[in-house]
A and B are shown apart, each in its own frame.
Chain A
Amino acid sequence: MTTALHRRTFLAATGAGLAGILAARTAPAFAQGTKLHIVRWVDFIPEADVELKRQAPEASKALGAEVTFEFINANDLQPRITAAIQSGSGADIIQMLWNWPHLYANALVDVSDVADPIGRSQGGFYDIFSSSAKVGGKWLSVPHGVGANAVAYRRSLFNEIGAKEFPKTWDEYREVGKKLKAKGKPVGQALGHSFGDPPTFAYPFLWDFGGAEVDKTGKKVMINSKGAIEAVKFLQAFWKDACDEGGLAWDDTNNNRAFHAGEIGATLNGASIYIVAKRQKDKLKDDKGEPLFQDIEHAPLMPKGPAGQFALYLPFQHSVMKYSKNQKLAKDFLKWLHQDANYGKWFEVNEGYSVGSTKKWEESPMWGRIDKPLQTFRRAAGASLMLGHPGPATAKATEAYTKYIIVDMFAKGVQGTKAEDAVKWAESELKKIYEG
């Protein structure tokens, strides 16, 4: 069916529109039709993306420009960034994980004028961000949140094998893991090429045994050490005795699915396993038909190794791209996003999966309302080290991470390569990056 548009109807309609604009007496802040395009990962908490999408029209109204979000697989973020920078076109704001701003420093806008006031007014950013988002004293990304990890485990299974609490040391965990594997519910650990779970396990595990990729200066490769060899040797045994050996091919999503399906008894992960289990409590049940989330406990850190107990959490931040024609608008949007009223809603939807980027959010009343296992994450962000530790988190550290050298060193070991050879391989790869 077609509707004829008569001249008078047209004049009446457009006349009313113009009258409305004139009556408002405010010119839009940006040229009409201006769009702001933001690319982020697909969140493990789907409601977090829903909340951002819900906020988009509010932001559009406040800024006088059309704000649109695009969510892509986290593993596709880096290829997307490379393509955007090289072609000089793409999203105005792109989410940066880890210390990626170091790698893309030449293509990012200095956003210190946005980040500094946020940090100052909110009790300061966590230390992790001065390593990840600050390059040469300038903020090249506005810190947005931290995806902290914990070991999610099944309380009932641990009780059945006589483990009243989460093991304190790696040796104890190996014994617990053996019993779990014997019950057909092994420890699940991703050790494939994926952005989050494999590195958040491999790096702290290396540090726990006294290994490190470089020295404090970040210039000398130190991986070929007793600590690193011991770490690989321990993982070879731990993998065989306690783990689901399919983990070599896992990405960040596999352990969530395996845990929810009751295939594994414990895994290192963010709060998403618990949150999704609770939000889908009618679907995700344990062997007795009870909601699975009621059986999930969180150990705040992985067990302790001979050299200590370390953590590596995933920092999230937003960068404004230099090629963007809407840099001011992008900065205004980031200021808007971090206003308490807006940020707070997104933060609460996360229920601890993504904690705040500033210490202020530790005091949010949300922490009193959420379940006890989720409260583990309240102050977790302060404990995290960064890629390249004990050296600075430079672009070289990002390159080593992006090539999965530390992850692959362990993966080679559990696939049967001699520990010493796996470490030597990592040494030669790291030397090409740091000393080449």
Chain B
Amino acid sequence: MSKPIAGGAGSAADVVALPRARSASPSGMTRFLESERLLAVMLLAPTVLLLGVFIAYPFVMGVWLSLSNTSVGNPGQFVGLKNFVKAWNDSIFRTAFWNTSVYTFWATIFKLALGMWLAVLLNRHFRGKRLVRASMLLPFIVPTVLSTFAWRWMFDPTFSVLNWLLYRGGFIVTKVPFLSDGLYGLWCAIAVNTWRGMPFFAITLLAGLQTISPDLHEAASLDGANGWKRFWHVTWPLLKPVTLVVVVFSIIQTFSDFQLIYVLTGGGPANSTHLLATYAYQIGVATGLLGEGAAISLFMLPVLFLVVWVQLRYLRRLEGA
């Protein structure tokens, strides 16, 4: 039988007194441990430290470098916006800026269109669905450098297997200059980027598709909506927030892409396929003009900031609607 507590029913002999609260004020250590503000600081400190070391410091350092004439082995002096002006007047920079915009725009469009198509297909029930979903992620999982090397071999000016197939198939009589022509080179890069990034779109959109209740589609079908109408009036409006988030991520990644172009074309021929990141690398790291290289790479910041700001505003409006 359990004992009733004080004030409860029962005889006086059965009453158990609760311990009396201490009248003395809490010790310094207790106050220290019980302070919510301090606890918050302590919990946040590791994150702040990590962000400071790996994000803030490199960023501030990059800004400082871009405002200085630092070159390899030579500590720089403040030169104001000289590096930015120099970059803006540089024809290769302008080509790189244009290439970066074209590359990002088309690669994102293709990734979105193909990723959406793939997601809708994979959202259906069919045999081996899991295997197909898993294998679809392969281009995204394989390290970019490795897969781009494979593509480089396929586009090789001398030994291209694609040229060989096209020639054997009777489609061409001379080699297609996949990488030895600037325009072809850029489109090859867009194709490889699309191949690589499409699974990210597909898998994210697929996750979004699975949150849409089948009842909505069923109701639309009963109302006589065909496949396209169901997609346009049911799927797309509900998928828009996820799509916008994926597009923002993709634009950020594609606009600042480096590895793919570096391995595939190296920015050539004659700088015609440089992106901002590869050109910044050539000037800053290969040539050792760190200040100028930093300025070129910082040109990416306002563009990306604007893209993110516009899209997040749109997203917020969608959520509010």
A residues contacting B by CB (< 8 A) are 78-79, 81-83, 85-86, 103-107, 191-194, 244-251, 254, 257-258, 261, 263, 399, 402-404, 408, 411-412, 415, 425, 428-429, 432, 436
Residues on A with beta carbons closer than 8 Å to the beta carbon of B99: none
Residues on A with beta carbons closer than 8 Å to the beta carbon of B269: 191-192, 248-249, 411, 415
Do A86 and B290 touch (CB < 8 A)? yes
Residues on B with beta carbons closer than 8 Å to the beta carbon of A432: 86, 90
Do A249 and B157 touch (CB < 8 A)? yes
Give me 18 A-to-B residue pairs in the complex whose CB atoms sit less than 8 angstroms apart, sorted by A's number: A81-B72, A81-B288, A82-B286, A82-B290, A106-B73, A107-B72, A192-B269, A247-B157, A248-B180, A249-B177, A251-B266, A257-B158, A399-B289, A403-B282, A408-B271, A411-B269, A425-B91, A436-B86
Do A83 and B266 touch (CB < 8 A)? no
Residues on B with beta carbons closer than 8 Å to the beta carbon of A194: 266
Residues on A with beta carbons closer than 8 Å to the beta carbon of B287: 78, 399, 402-403
Residues on A with beta carbons closer than 8 Å to the beta carbon of B291: none
Do B177 and A245 touch (CB < 8 A)? yes
Nearest neighbor of B293 in chain A, beta-carbon distance: A82
Residues on B with beta carbons closer than 8 Å to the beta carbon of A254: 157-158
Give A367 to B72 CA distance when docked, in angstroms.
41
- Tell me the interface secondary structure of chain B in the complex: loop
Do B157 and A85 touch (CB < 8 A)? no
Residues on B with beta carbons closer than 8 Å to the beta carbon of A428: 91
Q: Which of B180, B267, B283 has the most CB of A within 10 A?
A: B180
Do A82 and B158 touch (CB < 8 A)? no
Nearest neighbor of A100 in chain B, beta-carbon distance: B288
Give A428 to B92 CA distance when docked, in angstroms.
11
Complex A-B, nearest 7 residue pairs according to Cβ-Cβ distance, in ascending order: A246-B157, A411-B270, A107-B73, A248-B269, A249-B179, A248-B180, A106-B73
Question: What per-residue 1/0 map shows which CB atoms of B281-302 lie under 8 Å from chain A?
Answer: 1111111111000000000000
Q: Tell me the smallest distance from the CB of B282 to a CB of chain A, in Å.
A: 7
Give 11 A-B pairs besides A193-B266, A404-B271 with Cβ atoms closer than 8 angstroms.
A107-B72, A244-B158, A246-B158, A246-B179, A247-B157, A248-B157, A248-B270, A249-B180, A261-B159, A425-B91, A429-B92
Residues on B with beta carbons closer than 8 Å to the beta carbon of A246: 157-158, 175, 177, 179-180
Nearest neighbor of B163 in chain A, beta-carbon distance: A246
Give A399 to B283 CA distance when docked, in angstroms.
9
Nearest neighbor of A188 in chain B, beta-carbon distance: B158
B185 adjacent to chain A (CB < 8 Å): yes
Nearest neighbor of B157 in chain A, beta-carbon distance: A246
Given contacts A246-B175, A250-B157, contact A85 B72 (CB under 8 A): yes
Given contacts A79-B286, A415-B181, A425-B91, contact A249 B73 (CB under 8 A): no
Q: Tell me the smallest distance from the CB of A264 to a CB of chain B, in Å.
A: 8
Given contacts A86-B290, A249-B180, A258-B158, contact A415 B272 (CB under 8 A): yes
Give A404 to B269 CA distance when docked, in angstroms.
11
Residues on A with beta carbons closer than 8 Å to the beta carbon of B74: 106
Give A36 to B91 CA distance when docked, in angstroms.
43
Do B288 and A103 touch (CB < 8 A)? yes
Nearest neighbor of B283 in chain A, beta-carbon distance: A403
Residues on B with beta carbons closer than 8 Å to the beta carbon of A105: 73
Residues on B with beta carbons closer than 8 Å to the beta carbon of A191: 269
Give A415 to B282 CA distance when docked, in angstroms.
22
